[in-house]
């Protein structure tokens, strides 16, 4: 028996013994997790710096701060979330009451990505524990210092039978996916998501897949272009573009394209300086392979209007804006996942609809326009996981908005109560009275009884 199989068996025994069921115990573990993150905050910040060169500001606001926020949000509301919810009972069930109660699945597997290695590992962990599950957490091996730091935090907060971090590479993930677990939560690429779903199908294990895709940003001529450019630059170049909900490309109305590009140049300079590659706070690309891929996009697609510089030794790619791109360009063939922003012009909004609808449904969509009519038209016409009007990324930071994809961009939702719901089976229960019994339900009912039933069930 492998160590991973033994771990799964121990967690299943721990869960079967109902050690995770008491709500007060769940609260204690979440408090312990919050305290451990606080104790290790400096080490966590340093780990993110070593793996990705994230500044303290970016690492806190996009990683650790969101973890604190999620734990606090959950602790305040957990007592309400766990309560059975009464639902209406039809007249045909006279004498009974109906309710839905959340119950944990059991042993859950969380496979986290490298791009936000802290929050995308710990936010699902918070929800899984709040719902009463045990957790095997697999951090990404591409952010090794963060993975080690996460393992220390989890080990201080939980017994390994309740939650533990398992370190390793692809072989470890493959072995974990081969195990019989009760729920799988995966964040990563669509290609790997297919592998995860295939593995889950062997055991009929339910999954949440937080994937990605090419998320559009639309800028109409009536938008506040300077503000739009600043918010697009923020959304695209935060974390050096390595964000699943980053705007992947911009569709801008042709008459304001040049003005938008000019404002993007100003915004990039404001946020990252005249020479971003020399900015010590500018996030680096995760690996040499990813740098080579992004460099190929830049050299092989359209015309560089802003940026384009790379520093292979530092694994850094400057914020880059490309013009003269179309859907046959290499940069438009897959999710970019880096600080490269193609700009495409349109005349009428129907051109954008046609292009977006011809491709897989995106994880996010962003629209900049002052027209309420256009805003509603875009939201009604296009399907996407979530997004913003006149902003980027900020929907992801709200614990009240569920985050997730649609179609190839993902399956399932999380954040706040949605994470609790994701890791909870909704069990339906009907409680029937024993004070009386209605004969109409039985096959011995009279013809008059059948008439009554027909009335009630139509």
- DSSP code per residue over 223-250: S-HHHHHHHHHHHHHGGGG--TTS--EE
The residue among 95, 62, 125 whose CA lies nearest residue 396 is: 62
Token pair of 163 as six digits: 């939650």
The residue among 209, 20, 238 whose CA lies nearest residue 124 is: 209
**Look-up: residue for tokens 């039933």?**
453
**Look-up: residue for tokens 């305290």?**
35
- Verify whether residue 58 is a known catalytic residue: no
Catalytic residue among 161, 210, 335, 408: 210
Strand order of the β-sheet with 163-165 is 163-165, 134-138, 107-111, 183-187, 207-210, 410-411
Catalytic residue among 58, 244, 335, 417: 244
Q: Which helix (H) or strand (E) holds 108?
A: strand 107-111
Q: Which helix (H) or strand (E) holds 368?
A: strand 364-368
Token pair of 208 as six digits: 């949440």
- Verify whether residue 210 is a known catalytic residue: yes
Q: Report the first-to-last Cα separation within the chain, whole angstroms.
A: 57
Chain-centroid distance, C-alpha 148: 22
Active site residues: 210, 244
């Amino acid at each position: 028996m492998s160590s991973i199989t033994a771990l799964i068996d121990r967690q299943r025994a721990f869960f079967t013994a109902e050690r995770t069921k008491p709500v007060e115990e769940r609260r204690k573990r979440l408090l312990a997790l919050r305290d451990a993150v606080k104790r290790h905050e400096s080490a966590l910040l340093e780990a993110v710096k070593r793996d990705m060169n994230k500044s303290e500001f970016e690492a806190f606001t996009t990683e650790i701060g969101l973890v604190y926020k999620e734990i606090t949000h959950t602790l305040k509301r957990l007592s309400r979330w766990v309560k059975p919810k009464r639902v209406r009972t039809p007249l045909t069930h006279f004498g009974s009451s109906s309710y839905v109660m959340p119950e944990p699945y059991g042993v859950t597997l969380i496979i986290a990505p490298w791009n936000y290695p802290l929050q995308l590992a710990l936010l699902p962990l918070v929800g899984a524990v709040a719902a009463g599950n045990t957790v095997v957490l697999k951090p990404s091996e591409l952010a090794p210092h963060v993975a080690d730091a996460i393992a220390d935090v989890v080990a201080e907060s939980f017994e390994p039978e309740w939650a533990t971090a398992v370190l390793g590479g692809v072989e470890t993930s493959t072995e974990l996916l081969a195990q019989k677990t009760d729920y799988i939560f995966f964040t990563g690429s669509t290609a790997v998501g297919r592998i995860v779903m295939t593995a889950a199908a062997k055991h009929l294990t339910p999954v949440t897949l937080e994937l990605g895709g090419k998320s559009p940003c639309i800028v109409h001529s009536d938008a506040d272009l300077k503000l739009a450019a600043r918010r697009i630059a923020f959304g695209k170049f935060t974390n050096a573009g390595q964000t699943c909900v980053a705007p992947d490309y911009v569709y801008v109305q042709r008459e304001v394209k040049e003005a938008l590009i000019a404002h993007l140049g100003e915004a990039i300079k404001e946020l990252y300086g005249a020479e971003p590659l020399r900015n010590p706070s500018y996030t680096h690309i995760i690996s040499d392979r990813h740098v080579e891929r992004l460099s190929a996009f830049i050299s092989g697609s359209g015309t560089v209007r802003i940026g384009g510089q790379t520093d292979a030794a530092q694994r850094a790619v400057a914020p880059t804006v490309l013009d003269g791109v179309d859907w046959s360009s290499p940069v438009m063939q897959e999710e970019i996942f880096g600080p490269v922003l193609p700009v495409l012009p349109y005349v009428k909004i129907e051109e954008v609809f046609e292009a977006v609808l011809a491709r897989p449904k995106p994880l996010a969509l962003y629209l900049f326009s002052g027209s309420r009519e256009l805003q509603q038209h875009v939201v009604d016409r296009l399907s996407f996981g979530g997004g913003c009007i006149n902003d980027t990324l900020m929907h992801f930071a709200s614990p009240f908005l569920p985050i997730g994809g649609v179609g190839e961009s993902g399956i399932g939702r999380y954040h706040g109560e949605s994470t609790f719901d994701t890791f909870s089976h909704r069990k339906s229960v009907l409680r029937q009275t024993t004070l009386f019994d209605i004969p109409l339900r039985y096959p011995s009912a009279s013809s008059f009884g059948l008439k009554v039933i027909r009335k009630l069930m139509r």
